[in-house]
Amino acid sequence: MELERTELTDLLALMENGHSPFEKAIRAMKVSVCEAFKKSGALAPVTFLPGTRTLEPNPEVAEAFPNSIAASKNIILSASGAMTEKVSGKRVAVLFSGGPAAGGHNVLVGLKEILGPTNTLMGVKAGPKGLMKGELFEITDDHVKGIINTGGFDFLGTDRTKIEKPDDIDKVRNVCREQNIDAIVIIGGDDSNTNAALLAEKLFCDVKEDGSGVQVIGVPKTIDGDLQIGDDLPISFGFDTATKIYAEKVGNLLRDTASSLKYWHFVRLMGRSASHVTLEVALQTHPTITLISEEVRDRNTTLSEIVDIIALTAIERAKNGLNYGVVLVPEGLIEFIPGFTTMIDDLNDKMTQFKDDLGGKSVREQLLFIYSKLTQDHGELLESLPEAIKFMLMSDRDQHGNLQVSKIETEAMLSHEVKLRIKELDGNVKFEYLNHFFGYEARCGASTLFDSSYTYNLGATAGSLILDGRTGYMASLRDLDKGAKPLGIPIASLLDIEMRKGKPAKVIEKALVKLDSPAFLYLKSRRKLWAEKDLSSSPGPAQFWGPTSRQMPKTVALNRKYNSLDFKFDADE
């Protein structure tokens, strides 16, 4: 049988390769541009002046970043009007680093447009590794037309390489010299911005033959939302798109439980260590139970206590005829359970140390053997875990013999244990569960209007910082509710010393959920009611037109004490 060609089949063939009706329509949408960039109607870069806020760097870090700290004096820069001098001839390289997030393409668009036709924007293929290899190409106006407002990082690609070793930095130095690059924009999360700070310091001067350096500017990306700095960086980009996608699905599951009346859904949400994603999704949907890792750590809640909380809630609801519910589990939960990570480290060490003894043994025998080798606390914790999780901990290891905590299916472990616990507590209570992990499907969602506008203006800010001659800064915007203001945050001043893989490292500290933040307190004030009654809401799929298309994340609006959820990048809108 052959396909008969029709008007419709011809139409469908035209929709391939990024030309769905939706993709075509969003490319044609205008983004909101901050007042600061609208010099007499046309788009123009801004200059920066030291603002009123100063960061306090860690003294040890300050010593390691002498150039950057001397230049910034740890002061956050504020946009101070249109640039009067016309800067031209700059060659700027831009790259994505780390996991993708919606809005990355609009950073490039904002950058390209603010640099204008007299400067050159070069795209780096496939992330930091591509930079070291010198895989650059010129980004044209036609490219911009193709990528504007679309999600994903697919225009350039990305990877997770860190440019840390002197050799790596030399490679970058050579590429900049050979390809005559004046500035690099790194679009990435906390680690990538840490990397940007290091590169800025190392390339501060003496890269080119005339003794000049290469400027390095960071742009804050991560769906996890763990890169935020109070009012000066209300949120990283990509968080809004990802949480809107997760919240839609969780809202749907909440409606599903209340329709089919028989399942508890355990949903693990991507977001690494911090629980920002889970908190945002909870505020959007009002699930039955929301676990927040930071609270678990603060209260020293054990795994059995968590299981008990869920089991007792399920029993209480069953008494009221509600044999269903939704439990949100942050991806990083397990790391926050008291003693868990140190136990895992201990286990990793001992499994390597006693490799030969463990060989040939069954998992059960391995467990019996290993208990006594761990410290007493760790042995007891391991022993107290559910059978399934013990097996998982003994087996799922990477090639270096390490266990990836993020791969532990916490939601499956919890639901399994809750079922057993309910059977113990009250044999008559019906409890059926389904497990979910919502993750990868949200990193490259269609960039929401919030993320599209935010990133366009972040790109314009990054471009302005470059044209203004700055290096070692992260582009940011504040006051997202009333016409956003461009900022430059000195990255080195943000670094702190943290243990990474057993060694002290100078890194940007991950922003965790603060237990005294309005967003968390809001959850705390409502969650008892949400557990008792069905008060769920469905935020629906992210809208790009119509009355609900201009909402920012609830956690951002609450924590920044804005008066409404409406974002406003262009004060005139």
Residues 400-439 within binding reach of a second copy (CB under 8 A): 434, 436, 438
Neighbours of 305 (CB within 10 A): 12
Of the two residues 159 and 498, which places its CB atom closer to a second copy in the complex? Answer: 159
Residue 325 in the binding site for a second copy (CB under 8 A): no
Catalytic residue set:
224
In sign, the C-alpha dihedral spanning 368, 369, 371, 376 is positive
Binding mask 519-538 for a second copy (x = CB under 8 A): --xx-xxx---x---xxxxx
Binding mask 237-276 for a second copy (x = CB under 8 A): --------x--xxxxxx-xx-xxxx-x-x-----------
Q: From the CB of 525, what's the least distance to a second copy, in Å? A: 5
Chain residues 15-54 in contact with a second copy, contact rule CB under 8 A: 15-23, 25-26
**Structure token digits, residue 248:** 């839609």
Pick the piece of the chain touching a second copy (CB under 8 A) from 6-14, 86-94, 167-175, 484-492. Answer: 6-14
Task: Please give the torsion angle defined by the CA atoms of residues 565, 567, 572 and 573, in that order, rounded to the nearest 10 degrees.
Answer: -80
E strands, 230-347, are 263-269, 289-290, 325-330
- Give the residue from 121, 217, 215, 134 showing the smallest Cα distance to 168: 134
DSSP SS3 for 91: strand
Chain residues 279-318 in contact with a second copy, contact rule CB under 8 A: 283-284, 286
Query: Contact with a second copy (CB under 8 A): which of 494, 558, 568, 569?
Result: 558
Of the two residues 256 and 357, which places its CB atom closer to a second copy in the complex? Answer: 256
- Give the residue from 391, 452, 8, 465 showing the smallest Cα distance to 238: 452
Of the two residues 292 and 442, which places its CB atom closer to a second copy in the complex? Answer: 442
CA distance readout (Å), 152 to 18, 192, 272, 549: 12, 17, 19, 20
CA distance readout (Å), 173 to 85, 126, 161, 206, 261: 28, 18, 16, 9, 62
Q: From the CB of 511, what's the least distance to a second copy, in Å? A: 18
**Structure token digits, residue 184:** 């690099």
Q: What is the rounded CA–CA span in Å between residue 335 and residue 344?
A: 9
Q: From the CB of 226, what's the least distance to a second copy, in Å? A: 19
Pick the piece of the chain touching a second copy (CB under 8 A) from 175-183, 461-469, 482-490, 549-557. Answer: 549-557
Query: Contact with a second copy (CB under 8 A): which of 123, 152, 220, 332?
Result: 152
Q: From the CB of 501, what's the least distance to a second copy, in Å? A: 22
Residue 540 in the binding site for a second copy (CB under 8 A): yes
In sign, the C-alpha dihedral spanning 94, 96, 97, 101 is positive
Q: Count of residues binding a second copy (CB under 8 A)?
A: 96
DSSP SS3 for 112: helix
Of the two residues 275 and 471, which places its CB atom closer to a second copy in the complex? Answer: 275
Of the two residues 8 and 499, which places its CB atom closer to a second copy in the complex? Answer: 8
Which string of DSSP letters, residue by residue, matches 429-469?
A: ---EEEEEEE-GGGTTSPPPHHHHHHHHHHHHHHHHHHHTT
Which residues lie closer than 8 Å to 542 by C-beta, 6 or more apart? 241, 244, 245, 248, 445, 446, 448, 549
Asked if 285 contacts 254 with a C-beta cutoff of 8 angstroms, the reply is yes
Pick the piece of the chain touching a second copy (CB under 8 A) from 1-9, 312-320, 413-421, 468-476. Answer: 1-9
Residue 67 in the binding site for a second copy (CB under 8 A): no
Of the two residues 373 and 482, which places its CB atom closer to a second copy in the complex? Answer: 482
Chain residues 204-233 in contact with a second copy, contact rule CB under 8 A: none
Query: Contact with a second copy (CB under 8 A): which of 61, 111, 306, 557?
Result: 557
The enclosing H or E element of 128 equals helix 127-133
Asked if 199 contacts 224 with a C-beta cutoff of 8 angstroms, the reply is no
Q: From the CB of 12, what's the least distance to a second copy, in Å? A: 7
Chain residues 435-474 in contact with a second copy, contact rule CB under 8 A: 436, 438, 440-446
Of the two residues 473 and 562, which places its CB atom closer to a second copy in the complex? Answer: 562
Query: Contact with a second copy (CB under 8 A): which of 65, 153, 340, 567?
Result: 153
Of the two residues 442 and 466, which places its CB atom closer to a second copy in the complex? Answer: 442
Which string of DSSP letters, residue by residue, matches 185-208?
A: EEEE-HHHHHHHHHHHHHTSSS-S
Q: What is the rounded CA–CA span in Å between residue 271 and residue 169?
A: 30
Residue 360 in the binding site for a second copy (CB under 8 A): no
Residue 398 in the binding site for a second copy (CB under 8 A): no
Q: From the CB of 540, what's the least distance to a second copy, in Å? A: 4
Q: From the CB of 44, what's the least distance to a second copy, in Å? A: 31
Question: How buried is 321 (Cβ within 10 angstroms: 0-12 exposed, 13-18 middle, 19+ buried)?
Answer: exposed
Q: Which amino acid, 310?
A: I
Q: From the CB of 20, what's the least distance to a second copy, in Å? A: 4
Q: From the CB of 324, what's the least distance to a second copy, in Å? A: 10
Residue 547 in the binding site for a second copy (CB under 8 A): yes
Residue 96 in the binding site for a second copy (CB under 8 A): yes
Rounded CA Rg of the chain: 25
Q: From the CB of 378, what's the least distance to a second copy, in Å? A: 30
Which string of DSSP letters, residue by residue, matches 264-292?
A: EEEEEE--SSS-HHHHHHHHHH--SEE--
H helices then E strands: how many in the chain? 23, 17
Pick the piece of the chain touching a second copy (CB under 8 A) from 12-20, 191-199, 327-335, 385-393. Answer: 12-20
Residue 388 in the binding site for a second copy (CB under 8 A): no
**Structure token digits, residue 384:** 């107290």
Of the two residues 219 and 253, which places its CB atom closer to a second copy in the complex? Answer: 253
Of the two residues 159 and 570, which places its CB atom closer to a second copy in the complex? Answer: 159
Query: Contact with a second copy (CB under 8 A): which of 167, 210, 424, 516?
Result: 516
Chain residues 122-151 in contact with a second copy, contact rule CB under 8 A: 126, 150-151
The enclosing H or E element of 121 equals strand 120-124
